[in-house]
């Protein structure tokens, strides 16, 4: 599948993009500015457009955007005009992670640390909201395992769409009450 990620320079969406790249999908993306993450993605063979531009939308099958992207983004508009399915990252999770045994780590604080610790002691893939010192990235891909350690984000309600096999709630505080 050809998937385009808008806002690909963000830590969460870059992890999902890399994971899908490792699974064999053709990935493109865009962001507002060049960054260390964008350079890492390019080094892995992912084509990234800077800044957002409607010309980045071609014959993709799916466009996924970060939570910050609005409906008037030129790439969102171009994708919809071409009849390409457009989903927010949180909406895409069910489709993209449904084949995995997802160990979703949620909570107000400590998600990245807990996710990295789990990735250090468990087999499988991992998508973390920070770079793990254990494997030098925010993503680890293991094609031999259906296990996925996933840092679930409560700020946009995406943890509800990760379809966890196991939910690890590190702690809870009254934040992001809209979800």
The pTM of this model reads 0.90
Q: Is 159 a domain residue?
A: yes
Same domain, 13 and 83: yes
Q: Are residues 77 and 105 in the same domain?
A: no
Per residue in 30-81, pLDDT (tens digit) is: 999 999 999 999 999 999 999 999 999 999 999 999 989 999 999 999 999 9
- Say if residue 140 is in the same domain as residue 76: no
- Domain hosting residue 34, numbered range: 2-92
How long is the chain? 179
Reduced to 3 states, what is the DSSP secondary structure of residue 11?
A: helix
Separation of first and last alpha carbons in the chain: 31
Alpha helices (H) along 44-86: 74-81
């Amino acid at each position: 599948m050809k998937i385009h990620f808008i806002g690909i320079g963000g830590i969460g969406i870059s992890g999902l993009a890399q994971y899908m790249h490792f699974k064999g999908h053709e990935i493109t993306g865009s962001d507002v500015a060049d960054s260390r993450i964008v350079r890492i993605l390019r080094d892995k063979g992912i084509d990234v457009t800077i800044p957002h531009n409607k010309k980045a939308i071609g014959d993709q099958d799916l466009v996924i955007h970060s939570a910050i992207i609005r409906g008037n983004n030129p790439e969102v508009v171009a994708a919809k005009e071409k009849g390409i399915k457009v989903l927010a990252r949180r909406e895409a999770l069910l489709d993209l992670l449904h084949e995995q045994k997802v160990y979703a780590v949620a909570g107000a604080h400590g998600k990245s640390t807990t996710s990295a610790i789990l990735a250090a002691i468990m087999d499988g893939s991992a998508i973390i909201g920070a770079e793990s010192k254990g494997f030098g990235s925010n993503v680890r891909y293991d094609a031999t395992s259906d296990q996925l350690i996933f840092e679930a984000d409560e700020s946009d309600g995406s943890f509800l769409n990760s379809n966890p096999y196991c939910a690890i709630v590190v702690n809870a505080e009254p934040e992001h009450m809209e979800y």
